[in-house]
Amino acid sequence: MAGRVLTVAGSDSSGGAGIQADIKTVTALGGYAACAITALTAQDTNSVYDIVPVDPDFVGLQMRVVLQDLGVDAIKTGMLYSGDVVRCVAELIGRYAKGVDLVLDPVLVSSSGRDLFQEQDLSILKKNLLPLAAVVSPNLAEARALTGLDVNDEQQMTDAAMALVDMGAKAALVTGGHLPGPDMVDVLVWEGGVEKFRSTRVQTKNTHGTGCTLSSAIATGLAFGLNLPTAVEKARQYLLMAIKRAPGYGSGQGPVNHALPGMSLRASEGDS
């Protein structure tokens, strides 16, 4: 049995990011998605209007019943909102999911600029969850917040990824979607060294939930037994196609198209 992914993240009422994007991604790639919701958000393609956090004990209960009954092959975290939730998630992973690959997407700020994590709790995230991560996948701003380094070009992305590994993560993928230029470059630092993934940038406003989608796709690949670079490469291929085929909904930063046929990773199960 493989392909079971537990995603621990916030709910996005627009369906483009958060738990909704995670479940769509895992399902499209042939996996089985379970979830623990950390917060409810009221948002559309323009803004996050309000956030209602879920009690940390209930977040933990959601995780525990899934881990004890269904079991998981990978865990992905997104919006955790507070240090109390971070501590709870770390405790549950340590108690019920030791050795399970964790993809840590450090969701700190929405694409519209709304804070999605309490800044004063950032040290708790770095201390409690980062050392459990098989891979942490920040964008430029998140990498800057986690490391305190400038992250404005490929070399600085590499430096930040190395710093995150030095801070305890087994691997770090710094995504460069916000860098200017015709190419999209992501930098992976892992036990095998440094790898750069490059693709031609798609000129579009439909990029809501891309970070959630990428990290969930990576988690699905790991859940099927792919090694990390292969999981990253296949996740990037899926995300690129989802962006290209975006439905064009909304007046702001629109969602991607998660429902892509023929993208299942089941056929890749066991690739190395």
> To which residue do tokens 């798609």 refer?
202
Closest CA to 209 of 38, 37, 43, 31: 43
CA angle 146, 147, 150 (to 5 degrees): 115
Query: What is the structure's pLDDT at 93?
Result: 97
Query: What is the structure's pLDDT at 109?
Result: 78
Count of C-beta atoms within a 10 Å radius of residue 272: 6
Q: Is 0.85 topped by the overall pTM?
A: yes
pLDDT at 67 over 60: yes
pLDDT at 112 over 90: no
What gap in Å lies between CA 231 and CA 221, rounded to an integer? Answer: 5
- Tell me the per-residue pLDDT of 94-108, one tens digit each, with 9 for 90 and over: 999 999 999 999 988
Query: What is the structure's pLDDT at 180?
Result: 82
> Residue 78 in 3-state DSSP?
coil
CATH of the domain at 65: 3.40.1190.20
In which domain, by residue range, is 133 found?
Answer: 4-268
Query: What is the structure's pLDDT at 1?
Result: 63
Query: What is the structure's pLDDT at 266?
Result: 81
Query: What is the structure's pLDDT at 269?
Result: 61
What gap in Å lies between CA 225 and CA 4, rounded to an integer? Answer: 11
- Tell me the per-residue pLDDT of 39-63, one tens digit each, with 9 for 90 and over: 999 999 999 999 999 999 999 999 9
What gap in Å lies between CA 130 and CA 126, rounded to an integer? Answer: 5
Contacts of 33 (CB under 8 A, 6+ apart): 5, 7, 22, 23, 26, 27
**Mean pLDDT of the chain, nearest integer:** 94
pLDDT at 83 over 60: yes
pLDDT at 212 over 90: yes
For residue 178, what pLDDT band results from cuts at 50, 70 and 90?
Answer: confident
- Tell me the per-residue pLDDT of 222-235, one tens digit each, with 9 for 90 and over: 999 999 999 999 99
Is there a contact between 72 and 96 (Cβ–Cβ < 8 Å)?
no
Q: To the nearest 10°, the Cα dihedral for 239, 36, 81, 235?
A: -10
Query: What is the structure's pLDDT at 87?
Result: 96
Burial class (CB in 10 A: 0-12, 13-18, 19+), 221: buried
Average pLDDT over residues 175-185: 87
Angle (deg, nearest 10), helices 210-223 and 228-244: 140
pLDDT at 210 over 70: yes
Query: What is the structure's pLDDT at 76?
Result: 98
Query: What is the structure's pLDDT at 53?
Result: 96
> To which residue do tokens 């004990």 refer?
57
For residue 271, what pLDDT band results from cuts at 50, 70 and 90?
Answer: low
Query: What is the structure's pLDDT at 177?
Result: 83
pLDDT at 125 over 90: yes
Query: What is the structure's pLDDT at 60?
Result: 98
pLDDT at 268 over 90: no
Average pLDDT over residues 197-209: 92
Q: How far is CA 76 from the centre of its chain?
A: 6
Count of C-beta atoms within a 10 Å radius of residue 162: 17
Average pLDDT over residues 89-94: 97
Residue at 182: amino acid letter: P
Number of domains in the chain: 1
Query: What is the structure's pLDDT at 246?
Result: 96
Name the DSSP class of 245. T
Residue at 43: amino acid letter: Q
